């Protein structure tokens, strides 16, 4: 699913990959204990009208293709707190 979405994005936007705007968000499972913060459960990416909702909580691993996409020299439109969110996603991968 992730690879298919990425293939579509690269195919559709191949001429403007260096100027691509990617909407990024993620969600955590709620924690009812003040001292415990749950890991990121869902990663949401949107490019134009195409969105990927990747449920990390059910994934066996974090796809390398997605790591490469997020690491590309792409202009990302991100919400505040991205560094904390990415750190939490990274902790899931290792």
**Structural contact between residues 74 and 18, judged by C-beta atoms closer than 8 angstroms:** yes
CA angle in degrees (0–180, nearest 5) for 17-18-23: 70
Q: Where are the domains of the chain?
A: 2-30+38-93
CATH number assigned to the domain covering 2-30+38-93: 3.30.420.10
* Per-residue pLDDT at 82 exceeds 50: yes
What band does 76 get if pLDDT is binned at 50, 70 and 90? very low
- Establish how many alpha carbons lie within 13 A of residue 27's alpha carbon, considering only the half-sphere containing its beta carbon: 9
Which tens digits make up the pLDDT trace of 14-53? 888 777 888 888 888 887 888 887 778 898 999 989 999 9
């Amino acid at each position: 699913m992730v690879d298919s979405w990425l293939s579509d994005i690269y195919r559709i936007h191949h001429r403007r990959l260096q100027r691509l705007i990617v909407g990024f968000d993620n969600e955590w499972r709620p924690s009812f204990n003040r001292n415990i913060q749950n890991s990121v459960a869902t990663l949401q990416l949107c490019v134009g009208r195409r969105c990927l909702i990747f449920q990390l909580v059910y994934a066996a691993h974090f796809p390398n293709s997605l790591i490469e996409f997020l690491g590309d020299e792409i202009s990302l439109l991100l919400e505040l707190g991205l560094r904390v969110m990415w750190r939490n996603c990274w902790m899931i991968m290792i």
